[in-house]
């Protein structure tokens, strides 16, 4: 059992190889974040240039999420056929093409097509990168490595908010969308140097290559051999994907858990703030555009900084306590924000207090559900059904994301500001109980061990024991 893994002194080089590999894969996360963040600031200028209706604006935003859902669905199959490395490469090419097309789009139609292409790229990246990271990283740091992926997402969002704010003075939305080509090219070049995932290689019967990759990534040949043996062991279950889903009720539980986890992440209400932060600053009494733009940058910054809390906690404190605390913090943040809207935000103190609550919510998300849901989703699927299971959960992330993004303004109109925030506060309270009842603790447990427990029918919340 590789739980007994020991990291011997004098073997630093392998660690840095692993770190480099994980860093590169996490670059995919940076692009994910850039593309999520960039549209908030670009949209007003695009709408002005192309003279589009608010309905068309909604399409400009949500076409990417649509593409991402499709990309995530296609990724399962693609990852199975060509592996993680080449899937990331296709994602990188789409990032480059999508960024260039959107920067040069002559009209709304081309822009929409470009956004769908970018969405496909984001969908592939959001599927492939966490899987790859979970298969490459040694289990002791697996949680932190995937959290690093989330860190890159948040840095991407912040960078997009900053660059939007910078370009907003000249009003150049083409530059806002176009600069993303640079990190996209970087990813494309970097991906060439990545090794194939040892788990994927072993699943294709390529044991020799898998062993060689593991030897490069682990501290000793013994460790590499042990890990390969564990992988072989877990490969003995002969079905995969849809077949496994229809025949095996234990696997079905993992798929449903993945869906639930991603619905929980999106229904915390995080993206309501990511997409509509300037508007929320407006509701909290900040009237000028520059106040709203810079306020949005602060939201992005706090999101990055609080992700470090998760990186520190995830492999020490564990997934469950961090999640429970995070949902609690988010419930309080949203709840009090709703109450402020109910009372009416008039004084300066009330304005800043409301924003403090908004930031508290961001901290709650970034330290918990943001990274941890991706960590858990990549950990709970058994190897033979991993591609299928993660396809389903990642597609769920994007579909739920689209629903949240597309209903917020309607909710404000029909329920009122306070009630809208209270609904999200209430959902976060419910998620605390779901975490207690259903979510497993997977800290410091090998993927193979989790798989054995799951397939032996252990209760979901105990599969990490």
Q: Which residues bind ligand BGC (CB under 6 A)?
A: 36, 150, 153-154, 157, 265, 270-271, 274, 303, 370, 397, 401
Q: How far is the CB of 89 from ligand BGC (least distance, A)?
A: 22
Q: How far is the CB of 153 from ligand BGC (least distance, A)?
A: 5
Residue nearest to ligand BGC (CB): 370
The residue behind tokens 């908030």 is 40
Q: How far is the CB of 36 from ligand BGC (least distance, A)?
A: 5
**Ramachandran category for residue 9: left, alpha or beta (phi over 0 → left; psi -120 to 50 → alpha):** beta
Sign of CA dihedral 144, 145, 146, 151: positive
Complex with ligand BGC: residue 270 or 341, whichever CB lies closer: 270
Complex with ligand BGC: residue 286 or 365, whichever CB lies closer: 365
Question: Could you tell me the two tokens for 123?
Answer: 């969908």
Give the number of other Cβ atoms within 10 Å of residue 54's Cβ: 9
**Closest among 29, 51, 31 to 177, alpha carbons compared:** 31
Q: How far is the CB of 304 from ligand BGC (least distance, A)?
A: 9
Complex with ligand BGC: residue 87 or 303, whichever CB lies closer: 303
Q: Cα–Cα distance between 273 and 277 in angstroms, integer?
A: 5
Q: Cα–Cα distance between 281 and 268 in angstroms, integer?
A: 19
Q: Cα–Cα distance between 286 and 284 in angstroms, integer?
A: 6
Question: Could you tell me the two tokens for 172?
Answer: 């150049």
Q: Cα–Cα distance between 373 and 399 in angstroms, integer?
A: 16
Supply the angle between the helices 348-366 and 369-379 in degrees, to the nearest 10: 20
Complex with ligand BGC: residue 150 or 420, whichever CB lies closer: 150
Q: How far is the CB of 370 from ligand BGC (least distance, A)?
A: 4
Complex with ligand BGC: residue 152 or 194, whichever CB lies closer: 152
Complex with ligand BGC: residue 303 or 442, whichever CB lies closer: 303
CA 416 centroid distance within chain: 30
Q: How far is the CB of 243 from ligand BGC (least distance, A)?
A: 29
Q: How far is the CB of 145 from ligand BGC (least distance, A)?
A: 15
Complex with ligand BGC: residue 296 or 303, whichever CB lies closer: 303
């Amino acid at each position: 059992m590789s739980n007994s893994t020991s990291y011997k002194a004098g073997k630093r080089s392998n660690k840095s190889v692993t770190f480099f590999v994980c860093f590169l894969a996490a670059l995919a996360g940076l692009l994910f974040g850039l593309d999520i963040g960039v549209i908030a600031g670009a949209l007003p200028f695009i709408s002005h240039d192309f003279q589009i209706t608010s309905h068309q604006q909604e399409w400009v935003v949500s076409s990417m999420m649509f593409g991402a859902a499709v990309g995530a669905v296609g990724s399962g199959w693609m990852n199975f056929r060509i592996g993680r490395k080449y899937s990331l490469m296709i994602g990188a090419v789409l990032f480059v093409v999508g960024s260039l097309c959107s920067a040069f789009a002559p009209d709304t139609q081309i822009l929409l097509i470009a956004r769908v292409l970018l969405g496909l790229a984001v969908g592939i990246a959001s599927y492939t990168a966490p899987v790859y990271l979970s298969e490459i990283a040694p289990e002791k740091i697996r949680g932190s490595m995937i959290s690093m992926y989330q860190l890159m997402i948040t840095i991407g969002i912040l960078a997009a908010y900053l660059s939007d704010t910078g370009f907003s003075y000249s009003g150049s939305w083409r530059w806002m969308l176009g600069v993303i080509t640079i990190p996209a090219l970087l990813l494309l070049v970097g991906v060439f140097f990545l090794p194939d995932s040892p788990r994927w290689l072993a699943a294709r019967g390529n044991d020799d290559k898998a062993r060689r990759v593991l030897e490069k990534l682990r501290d000793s040949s013994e460790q590499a051999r042990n890990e390969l043996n564990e992988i072989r062991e877990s490969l003995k279950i002969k079905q995969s994907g849809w077949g496994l889903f229809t025949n095996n009720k234990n696997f079905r539980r993992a798929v449903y858990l993945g869906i639930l986890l991603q619905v929980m992440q999106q229904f915390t209400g995080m993206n309501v703030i990511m997409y509509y932060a300037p508007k929320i600053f407006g509701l909290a009494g900040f009237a000028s555009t520059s106040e709203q733009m810079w306020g949005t940058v602060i939201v992005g910054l706090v999101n990055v900084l609080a992700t470090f809390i998760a990186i520190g906690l995830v492999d020490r404190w564990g997934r469950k306590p961090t999640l429970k605390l995070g949902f609690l913090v988010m419930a309080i943040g949203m709840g009090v924000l709703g109450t402020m809207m109910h009372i009416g935000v008039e004084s300066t103190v009330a304005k800043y207090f409301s924003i403090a609550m908004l930031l508290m919510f961001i901290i709650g998300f970034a330290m918990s559900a943001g990274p941890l849901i991706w960590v858990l989703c990549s950990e709970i699927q058994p190897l033979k059904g991993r591609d299928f299971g993660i396809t389903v959960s990642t597609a769920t992330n994007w579909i739920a994301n689209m629903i949240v993004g597309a209903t917020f303004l309607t909710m404000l109109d029909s329920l009122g500001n306070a009630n809208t925030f209270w609904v999200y506060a209430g959902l976060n309270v419910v998620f605390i109980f779901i975490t207690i009842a259903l979510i497993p603790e997977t800290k410091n447990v090998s993927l193979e061990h989790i798989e054995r427990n799951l397939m032996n029918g252990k209760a979901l919340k105990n599969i990490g024991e």
